[in-house]
Amino acid sequence: MSVGIQAPVTIAELIDQLGVSADRIRYQPLPGTATESDVIALCDQNIYCELIDGVLVEKVVGQYESRMAAWLVYYLLDFVEKGHDIGVVHGADSPHRFFAGQIRYPDVAFVSYDRLPEGRPTHEPIAPWVPNLAVEIISQSNTPREMRDKAEVYFASGVELVWYVYPTTKTVDVYTSPDAVTTLTADESLDGQHVLPGFTLSIRKWFDKAE
């Protein structure tokens, strides 16, 4: 499995390897030289950039995608608060440190207490733990290459369950590995599986609330 980019020679090669449009790649600092400090500095300005092998790539945001993420956070928090206090829920503005020093912003994330230092979250600007569940609300600007690479990073880092949510088709791709995926329709429900045992959510209900 290949994770990360391979020292591109040209900007065209960089764009091709990242699988994103040129307007999402920040040129300052120069690609290949960016660090976690740059991610934090931009986050303080409400500019959310992921760090991919020293390259800052702006996170795609949108008001509808934000509502989808907010409602999922609500449902997960409700589940945790009502007798299933097994971990912590994060929203879209929470950067996490993943495999090989990559910094990613899942739209929603859940991490169990046993992955947290001393069983509780810290106040560090970048979460040093890997979530059990990572969720991405897919926008029109996200490319298949970008999302395929992100799934590889997630699972290489120890994520156990990934949900890719497609608002245009009202479907959810459920990954249990980079190559094991099941597509659920609006007539079906999400299942927390072993990550969130007992959690279920009607996909149609979720989309209806966001709309």
* 16 vs 89 pLDDT, higher one: 89
Q: How far apart are CA 61 and CA 58, in angstroms?
A: 9
* DSSP strand pairing (103-104 vs 108-112): unpaired
Beta partners for 50?
57
Q: How far is CA 47 from the centre of its chain?
A: 16
Query: How far is it, in rounded angstroms, from Cα 168 to Cα 111?
Result: 28
Q: Residue 120 — very low, low, confident or very high, per pLDDT cuts 50/70/90? A: confident
Burial of 148 (0-12, 13-18, 19+ CB in 10 A): exposed
Q: What's the first-to-final CA gap in the chain, in angstroms?
A: 38
Residue 107 has pLDDT above 50, yes or no: yes
Specify the pLDDT at position 42: 95
The pLDDT assigned to 2 comes to 42
- Of residues 88 and 2, more confidently modeled: 88
Q: What would the pLDDT profile of 170-179 be if each residue is shown by its tens digit?
A: 999 999 999 9
Query: By the 8 A CB rule, do 60 and 51 touch?
Result: no
From residue 135, alpha-carbon distances to 29, 92, 132 in Å are 28, 9, 10
pLDDT in tens, 123-168: 999 999 999 999 999 998 999 999 999 999 999 999 999 999 999 9
Name the CATH topology of 63-210.
tt1808, chain A (3.90.1570)
Domain ranges of the chain: 11-58, 63-210
Q: Which of 2-6, 30-34, 43-47, 104-108 has the lowest mean pLDDT?
A: 2-6
| Residue 43: closest CA among 139, 123, 124, 125 | 125
pLDDT score recorded for residue 4 = 53
| Predicted confidence (pLDDT) at residue 69 exceeds the cutoff of 60 | yes
User: Do 90 and 110 meet the contact criterion of CB atoms below 8 Å apart?
Assistant: yes
Given a cut of 80, is residue 25 above it in pLDDT?
Answer: yes
Say whether pLDDT at 77 is over 90.
Answer: yes
- Lowest model confidence (mean pLDDT) among 2-6, 49-53, 104-108: 2-6
Cα–Cα distance measured from residue 159 to residue 168, given in angstroms and rounded to the nearest whole number: 26
The pair of structure tokens assigned to 77 is: 């928090």
CA distance 62 to 113: 30
- Sorted by sequence, the CB contacts under 8 Å of residue 153 that are 6+ apart come out as 3, 98, 99, 100, 102, 104
Question: Is pLDDT at 68 greater than 70 in this prediction?
Answer: yes
Average predicted confidence (pLDDT) for the chain: 93
Length of the chain: 211
Per-residue pLDDT, 100: 84
What does the alpha-carbon distance between residue 177 and residue 194 come to, in Å, rounded to a whole number?
14
Which of the residue ranges 7-11, 78-82, 139-143 has the most confident prediction, judged by mean pLDDT?
A: 78-82
Does the pLDDT of residue 3 top 70, yes or no?
Answer: no
